[in-house]
């Protein structure tokens, strides 16, 4: 019970982090015409943030299992 | 060579495979080896979210707006993080109340209202129809394009086909037939479709693989990887690479995210797979990351395909919505083109199957049944309702698909795929306040929910649906440009002067303002009724440890027989009977007939029926067969007004009083212990003084004799002095032992813990006492094991125990015939040292007390020599090392004193 409460709260924290990274003025920092490794920076930023968020969810969720 | 006939054959083959999978999964479920119990299958079935819209439309949107298609998938990723509470609540509520659709859910939450269920159903059907139209459009369009293989038809050549040549109609009818076969073969009380879920999970794999195949082919075969594509894109100037803050891109970025996050929970098909078909709450956790991962994977190649398509088809008028299919065709990849088509087919069929099944359940349970039941105040006899229910659902499926076709004919051509999908998203978003606020706030009422839904839905119709008709020429464009009757303030897409917003953002904003506004306004107008309050508690508190049972306040007369026959009418005799038998067993009744006709049984019958005909209708039906006595207003107020607070208070009070009780008990125990300790201390003091007085008395007596009589004989004098010395020694020993015991008990003793070899210790101990034994003519036998037995203890203290036992044995063994046997044994992790004598033994009544202070055989006739503190001290010492000491004795047959100590590892 206690552990699942902790997981829920971690997920809310992660949710807020996701909102910050993808839906705040931070986004405009990466919204440029520049390129990294031949790809537009915004493209790399969005997809890598997305991957990182999914990895964090998986880590939190699966770590709690026995 | 692909031709129309071959494409149809392959499509039918694919559908046959789907059907086989569903059949197999159903069979497995019947055998109790469910395939959908796997969290992975659950997550994959949720990917029914990715429809033909994702499959074809994402590329179309990416071609227009760059990364602008991403919010549709980022929104669900974010909301998935909250599933641990949000979705869990929905699933648990639905399981306990047998809720089978989103209409049922909302109706249930606000007091099982039939009206609310009906309204939700109407909104869902009208809102989702464009979305179904989109799937039909995608299938028929992709089929028509693939027919031309290897030529690629332009957008213009595909439009305005006469009705009979339009494959969309045939697609709609074929899908209706397929869905009927799939989802309404039999009636299930819980509305779960294992076979369908398995098939949907399979479809999710197919569409993902197909899309990835096309993506990899385009990116790495036609072009030279991502960097190469972006290079070519910037040369050709075909891709927007940013979201541009200056334009409306950003507000769309937000509003699409919100819409998608809501839609992934509220679309009827999502509710179906995520909530109704959920077979285990633990599946949710895995889905929280597997589902977003799926979304990520299926979107990985959207932008590459969009770039490649724009480069390939620059100036040819090929629709970007078709790139996934037309790119492989343009490169004469026959197999890949077919696979791409099948992928799109799987995306579209998956959506249509689940969506229409979900909608047909809603139409049947929340729209048609309540109407029928109201007309039939008494159930017409001899009608098998399970057949009626199936017939209603099947007709609903056909009607919904035909509506989809109709919308496609009316408005479909005017819009790109993505825009049609967003119209549907905006419609189902209207459920959000009633659903989500209702899950966390008790105060929402029936009127609030109804007003919110109607207001939001009206805004949706006015700002999105009607304009979509206007844009396709079915309504006058004047209405759009100048507002109804020329009232500029009411222009549908710049309502109240709010212009410059994207139509989707505009609709989302105004509909939510009106929806949430009305919901709150009407909810706060009056107190909740009994029904609402009960249901609100059941929903809001469902995750609480003491979740409410769900059995409502109910008083009245009911006949179990009637309840069963009612259930049989709707569920079929067999399954109704079976459900009641299980329930009787769970209540501990020997058979169904002896079930008590109480509130719990009535509630059970109602939830059972709710699975088949919806909660609102179930309530009406059950009420018709039972004679419910309305509870008096005062009674209800007493029981239910602020029911939750009262319950919380009483729970708190209960907790407090039980805490107090526990504390009281503890105090009492502690007090008893103190009293006992006090008594022991008094005993101890009197024992000590007594023990001190005896030797003192004799010392004093003999000293006085010696002092008074100087004439005493030398021999006599020596004898007296010997006694004085012995008694003094005894006194010293006694005082030392009292001090020793006090030190041990108070924890001030010094312990030097080391490894002690017990065999060696026994050897030394025996040597020390050898004289005592030989003096009394007692034989001493020592038995030691061959292995070394080591314990961790204070060597001197242990020796003290051993010497005490040995000297006691020597003292009690009969002179000359005495025999003392010392034995050391290892018993697993325990080392046991026993000292056996053949003396008089210890009487049973003393065997417990002998280790207490001054309890040496006081009852025995012969007072033994010693202070009476040796054994108590020994016990303290052994217990300190984690062992125990005990005596076994049969009076007249000697005594065995044994102490045990934990062996050290490897000892």
Q: pLDDT digit string (tens) for B633-643?
A: 444 444 444 45
Distance from CA of A20 to the nearest CA of B (A): 11
Inter-chain residue contact A31 with B244, CB threshold 8 Å: yes
CA distance B275 to B612: 16
pLDDT tens, B868-894?
778 888 888 888 888 889 888 888 888
pLDDT tens, B538-549?
788 777 755 555
Q: Hey, of B42, B69, B219, B241, which one would you mutate to test binding to chain A, going by the most A CBs within 10 A of its CB?
A: B241
Local structure of B381: helix, strand or coil: coil
Q: What is the pLDDT of residue A54?
A: 93
pLDDT tens, B577-622?
888 888 888 877 777 777 777 777 877 888 887 777 777 777 777 7
Average of per-residue pLDDT across B638-655:
61
When the pLDDT of each residue in chain B is averaged and rounded to a whole number, the result is 81
pLDDT at residue B839 greater than cutoff 90: no
Inter-chain residue contact A38 with B226, CB threshold 8 Å: yes
CA distance B122 to B316: 42
Closest CB to A37: pick one of B85, B227, B286.
B227
pLDDT at residue B514 greater than cutoff 60: yes
Distance from CA of A45 to the nearest CA of B (A): 11
CA distance B654 to A54: 44
Which chain B residues have a beta carbon less than 8 Å from that of A62? 289
pLDDT tier at B139 (50, 70, 90 boundaries)?
A: confident
Average of per-residue pLDDT across B65-76:
86
Determine whether B135 is exposed, middle or buried from the number of CB atoms within 10 Å of its CB (0-12, 13-18, 19+): buried
Are the C-beta atoms of B842 and B895 separated by less than 8 Å?
A: yes
Q: Cβ atoms within 10 A of the Cβ of B787, count?
A: 9
What one-character DSSP code corresponds to residue B245?
T
pLDDT tier at B430 (50, 70, 90 boundaries)?
A: very high
Measured between CA atoms, the residue of chain B closest to residue A39 is B227
pLDDT tens, B723-758?
888 888 888 888 888 888 888 877 777 788 888 888
Q: Hey, of A6, A38, A52, A66, which one would you mutate to test binding to chain B, going by the most B CBs within 10 A of its CB?
A: A38
Structural tokens at position B303: 């932008």
Inter-chain residue contact B77 with A37, CB threshold 8 Å: no
Structural tokens at position B70: 């991403």
Q: Cβ atoms within 10 A of the Cβ of B798, count?
A: 23
pLDDT at residue B857 greater than cutoff 50: no
Q: What is the pLDDT of residue B206?
A: 93
Nearest to B240 by CA among B313, B324, B310: B310
Which chain B residues have a beta carbon less than 8 Å from that of A1? 545
pLDDT at residue B413 greater than cutoff 70: no
Residues of chain B with a CB closer than 8 angstroms to some CB in chain A: 67, 70, 74, 77-78, 80-82, 84-85, 226-228, 230-231, 241-245, 253-254, 257, 285-286, 288-289, 292-293, 296, 300, 303, 545
Q: What is the pLDDT of residue B862?
A: 43
Measured between CA atoms, the residue of chain B closest to residue A30 is B242
CA distance B274 to B411: 31
pLDDT tier at B698 (50, 70, 90 boundaries)?
A: confident
Q: What is the pLDDT of residue B632?
A: 46
Closest CB to A15: pick one of B81, B226, B243.
B81
What is the residue-wise DSSP string for B712-777? Answer: --HHHHHHHHHHHHHHHHHHHHHHHHHHHHHHHHHT-----EEEEEHHHHHHHHHHHHHHHHHHHT
Q: What is the pLDDT of residue B29?
A: 80
Closest CB to B245: pick one of A8, A28, A38.
A28
Q: Which residue has better confidence, B562 or B132?
A: B132
Average of per-residue pLDDT across B464-491:
74
Average of per-residue pLDDT across B688-692:
78
What is the residue-wise DSSP string for B568-618? Answer: HHHH-HHHHHHHHHHHHHHHT-SSGGG---SHHHHHHHHHHHHHHH-HHHH
Average of per-residue pLDDT across B71-96:
89
| Percent of chain B residues past pLDDT 70, beyond the cut | 87
Alpha carbon of residue B695 to chain centroid: 76
pLDDT at residue B450 greater than cutoff 80: yes
- Please state at what angle helix B334-362 crosses helix B102-109, rounded to 10 degrees: 30
Q: What is the pLDDT of residue B54?
A: 85
pLDDT at residue B190 greater than cutoff 70: no
Q: Which residue has better confidence, B778 or B416?
A: B778
pLDDT at residue B433 greater than cutoff 60: yes
Closest CB to A38: pick one of B227, B245, B254.
B227
CA distance B296 to A53: 11
pLDDT tens, A14-66?
999 999 988 888 887 877 777 777 778 888 888 999 999 999 999 988 886 54
Inter-chain residue contact A33 with B242, CB threshold 8 Å: yes
Measured between CA atoms, the residue of chain B closest to residue A14 is B81
Q: What is the pLDDT of residue B638?
A: 47
| Beta strands A39-40; B895-902: pairing state | unpaired
pLDDT tens, B205-230?
999 999 999 999 998 988 888 888 88
Q: b or e along B4-23 (b: 16 or more beta carbons within 10 Å of the residue's beta carbon)? A: eeebeebbeebbeebeebbe
pLDDT tier at B526 (50, 70, 90 boundaries)?
A: confident
Measured between CA atoms, the residue of chain A closest to residue B303 is A43
Q: Which residue has better confidence, B832 or B378?
A: B832
pLDDT at residue B676 greater than cutoff 70: yes
pLDDT at residue B715 greater than cutoff 60: yes
Q: Which residue has better confidence, B312 or B854?
A: B312
**Mean pLDDT lowest among B276-280, B282-286, B470-474:** B470-474
pLDDT at residue B907 greater than cutoff 50: no
pLDDT tens, B789-825?
888 888 888 888 888 888 888 888 888 888 899 988 8
What is the residue-wise DSSP string for B297-350? Answer: HHHTTHHHHHHHHHHHTTTTT--GGGHHHHHHHHTT-HHHHHHHHHHHHHHHHH
CA distance B759 to B789: 7
Are the C-beta atoms of B532 and B447 separated by less than 8 Å?
A: no
Inter-chain residue contact A27 with B243, CB threshold 8 Å: yes
Which chain B residues have a beta carbon less than 8 Å from that of A27? 243
pLDDT tier at B290 (50, 70, 90 boundaries)?
A: very high
Closest CB to B288: pick one of A1, A27, A61.
A61
Q: What is the pLDDT of residue B294?
A: 94
| Beta strands B830-837; B895-902: pairing state | antiparallel
Q: How many CA atoms lie within 13 A of B889 on its CB side?
A: 26
């Amino acid at each position: 019970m206690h552990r699942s409460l902790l997981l829920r709260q971690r997920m809310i924290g992660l949710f807020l982090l996701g909102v910050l990274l993808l839906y705040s003025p931070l986004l405009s920092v990466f919204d440029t015409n520049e390129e990294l490794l031949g790809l537009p920076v915004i493209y790399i930023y969005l997809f890598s943030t997305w991957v990182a968020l999914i990895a964090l969810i998986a880590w939190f969720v699966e770590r709690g299992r026995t | 060579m692909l031709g129309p006939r071959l494409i149809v054959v392959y499509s039918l083959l694919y559908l046959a495979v789907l059907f086989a999978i569903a059949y197999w999964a159903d069979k497995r479920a019947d055998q109790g080896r469910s395939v959908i119990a796997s969290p992975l299958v659950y997550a994959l079935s949720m990917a029914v979210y990715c429809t033909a819209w994702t499959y074809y439309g994402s590329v179309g949107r990416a071609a227009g707006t760059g990364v602008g298609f991403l919010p549709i998938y980022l929104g669900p990723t974010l909301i998935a993080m909250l599933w641990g509470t949000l979705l869990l609540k929905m699933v648990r509520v639905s399981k306990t109340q047998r809720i089978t659709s989103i209409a049922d859910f909302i109706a249930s939450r606000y007091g099982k209202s039939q009206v609310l269920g009906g309204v939700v159903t109407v909104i869902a059907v009208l809102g989702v129809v464009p979305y179904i139209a989109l799937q039909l459009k995608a299938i028929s369009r992709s089929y028509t394009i693939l027919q031309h293989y290897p030529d690629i038809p332009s957008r213009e050549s595909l439009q305005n086909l006469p009705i009979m040549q339009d494959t969309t109609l045939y697609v709609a009818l074929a899908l209706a037939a397929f869905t009927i076969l799939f989802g309404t073969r039999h009636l299930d009380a819980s509305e779960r479709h294992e076979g369908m879920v398995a098939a949907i999970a399979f479809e999710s794999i197919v569409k993902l693989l197909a899309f990835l195949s096309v993506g990899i082919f385009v990116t790495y075969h036609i072009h030279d990887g991502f960097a190469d594509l972006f290079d070519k894109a910037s040369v050709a100037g075909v891709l927007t690479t940013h979201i541009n803050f200056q334009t409306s891109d950003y507000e769309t970025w937000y509003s699409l995210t919100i819409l998608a996050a809501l839609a992934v929970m509220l679309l009827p098909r999502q509710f179906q797979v995520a909530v109704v078909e959920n077979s285990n709450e633990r599946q949710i956790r895995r889905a929280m990351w597997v589902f977003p991962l799926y979304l990520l994977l299926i979107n990985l190649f959207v932008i590459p395909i969009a770039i490649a398509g724009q480069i390939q088809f620059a100036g040819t008028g090929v629709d970007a919505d078709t790139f996934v299919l037309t790119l492989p065709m343009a490169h004469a990849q026959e197999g890949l083109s077919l696979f791409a088509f099948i992928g799109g087919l799987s995306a579209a069929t998956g959506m249509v199957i689940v969506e229409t099944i979900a909608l047909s359940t809603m139409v049947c349970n929340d729209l048609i049944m309540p109407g029928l039941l109201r007309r039939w105040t008494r159930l017409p006899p001899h009608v098998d309702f399970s057949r009626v229910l199936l017939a209603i659902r099947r007709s609903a499926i056909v009607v919904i698909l035909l509506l989809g076709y109709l919308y496609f004919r009316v408005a479909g051509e005017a819009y790109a795929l993505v825009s049609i999908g967003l119209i549907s998203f905006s419609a189902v978003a209207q459920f959000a306040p009633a659903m989500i606020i209702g899950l966390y706030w008790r105060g929402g009422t029936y009127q609030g929910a109804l007003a919110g839904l109607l207001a939001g839905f009206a805004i949706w119709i006015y700002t999105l649906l009607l304009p979509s008709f206007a844009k396709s020429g079915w309504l006058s464009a004047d209405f759009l440009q100048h507002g109804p009757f020329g009232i500029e303030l009411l222009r549908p897409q710049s309502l109240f002067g709010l212009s410059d917003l994207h139509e989707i953002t505009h609709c989302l904003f105004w509909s939510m303002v009106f929806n949430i506004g009305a919901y709150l306004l009407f909810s706060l107008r009056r107190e909740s009724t009994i029904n609402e309050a009960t249901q609100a508690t059941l929903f809001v508190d469902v995750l609480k440890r003491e979740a409410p049972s769900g059995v409502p306040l109910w008083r009245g007369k009911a006949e179990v027989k009637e309840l069963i026959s009612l259930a049989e009418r709707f569920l079929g005799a067999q399954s109704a009977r079976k459900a009641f038998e299980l329930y009787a067993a769970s209540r501990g009744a020997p058979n169904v007939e002896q079930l008590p006709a109480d509130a719990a049984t009535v509630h059970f019958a109602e939830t059972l029926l709710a699975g088949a005909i919806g909660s609102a209708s179930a309530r009406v039906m059950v009420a018709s067969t039972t004679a419910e006595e309305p509870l008096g207003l005062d009674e209800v107020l007493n029981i239910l007004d602020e029911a939750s607070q009262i319950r919380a208070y009483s729970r708190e009070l209960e907790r407090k009083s039980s805490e107090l009780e526990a504390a009281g008990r503890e105090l009492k125990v502690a007090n008893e212990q103190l009293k006992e300790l006090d008594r022991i201390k008094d005993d101890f003091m009197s024992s000590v003084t007594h023990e001190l007085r005896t030797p003192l008395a004799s010392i004093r007596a003999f000293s006085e004799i010696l002092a008074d009589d100087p004439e005493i004989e030398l021999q006599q004098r020596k004898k007296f002095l010997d006694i004085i010395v012995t008694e003094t020694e005894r006194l010293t020993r006694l005082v030392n032992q009292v001090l020793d015991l006090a030190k041990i008990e108070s924890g001030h003793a010094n312990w030097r813990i080391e490894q002690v070899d017990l065999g060696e210790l026994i050897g030394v101990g025996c040597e020390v006492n050898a004289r005592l034994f030989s003096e009394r003519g007692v034989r001493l036998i020592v038995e030691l094991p061959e292995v070394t037995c080591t314990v961790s203890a204070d060597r001197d203290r242990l020796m003290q125990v051993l010497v005490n036992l040995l000297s006691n044995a020597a003292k009690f063994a009969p002179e000359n015939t005495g025999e003392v046997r010392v034995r050391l044994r290892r018993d697993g992790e325990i080392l046991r040292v026993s000292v056996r004598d053949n003396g008089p033994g210890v009487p049973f009544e003393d065997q417990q007390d002998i280790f207490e202070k001054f309890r040496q055989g006081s009852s025995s006739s012969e007072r033994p020599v010693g202070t009476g503190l040796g054994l108590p001290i020994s016990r303290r010492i052994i217990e300190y090392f984690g062992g125990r000491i005990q005596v076994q004795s049969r009076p007249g047959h000697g005594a065995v004193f044994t102490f045990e100590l934990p062996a050290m590892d490897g000892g």
